[in-house]
């Protein structure tokens, strides 16, 4: 059992395992570019859908249906199906109207559309994904949500060039990387069937490359948020530790209404930079969500 390797890290480990066995409710995020939370609630009430708000973020609604896609609010682009904890990194990045923002691994677009909404659909949002097959989903989701400030590109984020953008750096970057997806087991019980340590090690190389490039493309004083949906320190703190050594950046503290645990500074005999403790680990049993990892970096000169 893959998750056994985290027993030394997690208090109440049995509660953690039990939470991982429970399925997650269907959660939607209100797309504030097209509708207000009140409008969506009224529409759901009128159509007889039961729901409750997530305590920590009123734009997230837990719906009692497995088919939110067949509702009028979905057709109107008022809601987007999104696992609730995955709404965290865009909030931590906190993009402002008129910013230039880079979304390194954007497909299928839940975080992209959330970033566009936080930017009030102003400024320029470059949504990139290397996987051409997933781009159609990204484009279709962005268009259904009425996003008009978004540029979709399909490059390897590790070697992304600012050339087509007149070499102008970004104000902020979201680096929500491909990962071993351990934290999504409640949504997808087969998520760990393909798990291997070789795969974790291999993917962490890609994660380092993407985060390094994102830091390089962000202006001095700008913000980069790094996130994964996995518990593996090799893909989380070890990636941060590496980038702290190769790029000009530092980890900064941030607040979140979710219950979290700090990043770990030691794993399997390796020591990490103490500042990785400013990152946050989110475990399924603490908030009844999926698992997640999130860190906020400030880019230096």
- DSSP letter string, 53-99: EETTEEEEEEES-S-GGGSHHHHTT-EEE--GGGGHHHHHH---TT-
Is residue 229 annotated as part of the catalytic site, yes or no?
Answer: yes
- The answer to whether 75 contacts another protein (rule: CB under 8 A) is yes
Per-residue mark of binding to another protein, 131-150 (x: CB under 8 A)? ----x---xx-xxx-xxxxx
- Whether the CB-CB separation of 224 and 249 falls below 8 Å is answered with yes
Among 86, 110, 153, 204, binds another protein (CB under 8 A): 153
**Distance from C-alpha of 43 to C-alpha of 49, rounded to nearest angstrom:** 9
Question: What is the chain's alpha carbon radius of gyration, rounded to the nearest angstrom?
Answer: 19
- Binding string, 157-186, against another protein, x = CB under 8 A? -------xxx--------------------
Q: Counting contacts by CB under 8 A, is residue 65 touching another protein?
A: yes
Structure letter (DSSP) for residue 188: -
Nearer to another protein, 109 or 263 (CB): 109
- Binding-site members are 105-111, 129, 156, 176
Contact 26, 62 (CB under 8 A): yes
Separate counts of helices (H) and strands (E) for the chain: 9, 15
Work out how close the CB of 147 gets to another protein at its nearest, in angstroms, rounded to a whole number: 7
Q: Decide: residue 44, CB within 10 A, 0-12 exposed, 13-18 middle, 19+ buried.
A: buried
Of 54, 229, 249, 294, the active-site residue reads 229
Nearer to another protein by Cβ, of 150 and 264: the residue is 150
Q: Is 122 in the site for another protein (CB under 8 A)?
A: yes
Q: Please, what is the minimum distance in Å from the beta carbon of residue 23 to another protein? A: 20
Asked whether the beta carbons of 138 and 108 are under 8 A apart, the reply is yes
What amino acid positions are annotated as catalytic residues? 229
Binding site residues, another protein, CB under 8 A: 34, 39, 42-43, 46-47, 65, 67, 69-72, 74-77, 121-125, 135, 139-140, 142-144, 146-154, 164-166
């Amino acid at each position: 059992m893959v998750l056994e390797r985290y027993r030394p890290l997690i208090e109440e480990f049995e509660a953690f395992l039990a939470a991982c066995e429970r399925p997650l409710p269907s959660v939607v995020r209100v797309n504030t570019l097209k509708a207000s939370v009140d409008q969506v609630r009224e529409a759901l009430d009128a159509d007889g859908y039961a729901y409750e708000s997530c305590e920590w973020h009123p734009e997230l609604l837990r719906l009692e249906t497995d088919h939110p896609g067949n509702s009028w609010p979905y057709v109107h682009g008022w809601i987007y199906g999104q696992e609730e904890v995955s709404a965290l990194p865009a909030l931590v990045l906190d993009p402002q109207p008129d910013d230039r923002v880079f979304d390194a691994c954007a497909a299928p677009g839940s975080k992209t559309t959330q970033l566009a909404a936080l930017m009030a659909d102003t400024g320029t949002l470059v949504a990139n994904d290397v996987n051409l097959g997933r781009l159609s989903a990204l484009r279709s989701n962005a268009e259904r949500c009425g996003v008009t400030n978004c540029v979709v590109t399909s490059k390897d984020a590790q070697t992304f060039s600012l050339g087509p953008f007149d070499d102008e750096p970004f104000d902020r970057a979201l680096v929500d990387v491909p990962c071993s997806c351990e934290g999504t087991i409640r949504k997808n019980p087969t998520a760990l069937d393909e798990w291997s340590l070789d795969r974790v090690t291999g993917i962490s190389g890609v994660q380092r490359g993407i985060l390094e490039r994102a830091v390089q493309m962000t202006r001095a004083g700008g913000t980069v948020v790094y996130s994964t949906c996995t518990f593996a320190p090799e893909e989380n703190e070890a990636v941060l530790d590496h980038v702290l050594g190769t790029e000009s950046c530092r980890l900064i503290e941030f607040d979140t209404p979710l219950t979290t645990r700090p990043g770990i500074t030691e794993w399997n005999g390796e020591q990490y930079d103490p500042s990785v403790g400013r990152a946050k680990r989110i475990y399924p049993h603490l908030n009844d969500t999926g698992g997640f990892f999130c860190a906020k970096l400030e880019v230096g000169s």
